[in-house]
Amino acid sequence: MPKVKKILWATKMKSLLLLVLISICGADHRSDNYTLDHDRVIHIQAENGPRLLVEAEQAKVFSHRGGNVTLPCKFLRDPTAFGSGTHKIRIKWTKLTSDYLKEVDVFVSMGYHKKTYGGYQGRVFLKGGSDNDASLVITDLTLDDYGRYKCEVIEGLEDDTAVVALDLQGVVFPYFPRLGRYNLNFHEAQQACLDQDAVIASFDQLYDAWRGGLDWCNAGWLSDGSVQYPITKPREPCGGQNTVPGVRNYGFWDKEKSRYDVFCFTSNFNGRFYYLIHPTKLTYDEAVQACLKDGAQIAKVGQIFAAWKLLGYDRCDAGWLADGSVRYPISRPRRRCSPTEAAVRFVGFPDKKHKLYGVYCFRAYN
């Protein structure tokens, strides 16, 4: 074949290949096969740089249980890019977990189609402040809403993400049951916190509590399955006498067989916590009935900690709580009432038949 014919043949083949590629791309751009639940596709970025940018104006937002919050997220598109504006925008919010391979679906939107998942149903929606606003509003916040959320925006072959942390105002408290210290496996620890109007605390929550002065010499489970404890005043049996303050880490243990205490987290409540004025001291059963007679329920450990920490509740009277423990909250230390520090004082788990204490009640608001 002469050299000129070879060149012409090669040119024709290149043109044909280009037409095939254009046809394939065009078919892909004309298709609209995305669904709300389509599998995640990994896209290869074009050499000219990103044509879709997703960003969060704040890396962290703060609120409290029962409140509302907006997780900020906006996206910017290159209007001059090929195919820009021809695809429906898909917005997906997920909650990140301690297992980086798992995410919890929260909300997804594509055009008029929207879907909410799990416990978020009826509580989340897009803010929709502008055409490029992907911010998510969460209402009636729960303790489980705490954590990190990912905003993902997809347009055709382009996608980008941003992460926002939701922090809740609250208090971390150590907990162990009537059986005594180091008696809870991980799953029992989770349930113990739930029973006391709380959830198992995260490391970040425990770390913030340590920075706020929490010092506790017994190791407890955290939400990621690790076992740790906070020390502000190092001493021989608690982190070592000649060591620096910090959160001591025991590492990760068998969630079924290993037994420790637990660190719980709770936040604001919608109700009234109070010490019931009663003419006599009460047994545990009498305390339960006294609260019911007053239109309330015997208070939980999480509620006494929330009232003490978040409302400044102060009462120098020991009272029964729902778990059978006896405690009292002191916000203003004074003689005979926790003279050295503000704290929720723990009397113990006395015999429930002892008629020696009052009772703390909680009346929820409807």
Buried b / exposed e over 182-197, threshold 16 CB at 10 Å, is eebbbebbbebbebbb
The pLDDT of residue 36:
52
In a domain, residue 34? The reply is: no
The pLDDT of residue 46:
43
Question: Tens digit of pLDDT for each residue in 129-180?
Answer: 888 999 999 999 999 999 999 999 999 888 899 999 999 999 999 999 999 9
Pairing of strands 158-168, 60-63: parallel
The pLDDT of residue 154:
94
Cα separation, 123 vs 94, in Å, equals 14
- Under 8 Å between Cβ of 206 and 263: yes
This prediction's pTM: 0.83
The pLDDT of residue 81:
59
The pLDDT of residue 48:
53
Question: Tens digit of pLDDT for each residue in 248-260?
Answer: 999 999 999 999 9
Cα separation, 96 vs 103, in Å, equals 5
In a domain, residue 8? The reply is: no
Pairing of strands 69-71, 136-138: antiparallel
Cα separation, 157 vs 168, in Å, equals 36
- Under 8 Å between Cβ of 36 and 115: yes
State the CATH number of the domain containing residue 244.
Answer: 3.10.100.10
- Under 8 Å between Cβ of 284 and 325: no
The pLDDT of residue 122:
96
Domain boundary residue, one of 141, 168, 195: 168
Residues 298 and 252 in one domain: no
Cα separation, 25 vs 39, in Å, equals 20
Q: What is the DSSP letter of 309?
A: H
Domain boundary residue, one of 243, 266, 289: 266
State the CATH number of the domain containing residue 84.
Answer: 2.60.40.10
The set of residues, in sequence order, having a beta carbon less than 8 Å from that of 132 and lying 6+ positions away, is 74, 75, 76, 77
Give the containing element (helix H, strand E) for 200: strand 199-200
In a domain, residue 26? The reply is: no
Residues 141 and 195 in one domain: no
Range(s) of the domain holding residue 137: 52-168
Q: What is the DSSP letter of 99?
A: S
Domain boundary residue, one of 125, 141, 168: 168
Number of helices (H), then strands (E), in the chain: 5, 23
- Under 8 Å between Cβ of 144 and 104: no
Cα separation, 225 vs 249, in Å, equals 11
In a domain, residue 200? The reply is: yes
Q: What is the mean pLDDT of the chain?
A: 88
The pLDDT of residue 49:
54
Q: Give the total number of structural domains in the chain.
A: 3
Q: Mean pLDDT for each consecutive 10-residue tract of the chain (366 residues)? A: 40 42 40 45 46 92 97 86 68 91 94 94 93 95 97 91 97 98 98 99 98 96 97 89 92 97 98 97 99 99 99 98 99 95 97 98 94
Quickly list DSSP for 231-287: ESS-BTTBB-TTS--EEEEEEE--TTT--BEEEEEEE--SEEEEEPP-SS-B-HHHH
Residue 74, CA atoms < 13 Å, CB-side half-sphere: 8
Residues 231 and 289 in one domain: no
Listed residue (327, 312, 332, 331) closest to 360, CA to CA:
327
In a domain, residue 324? The reply is: yes
In a domain, residue 307? The reply is: yes
Residues 182 and 284 in one domain: no
Residues 249 and 284 in one domain: no
Residues 237 and 330 in one domain: no
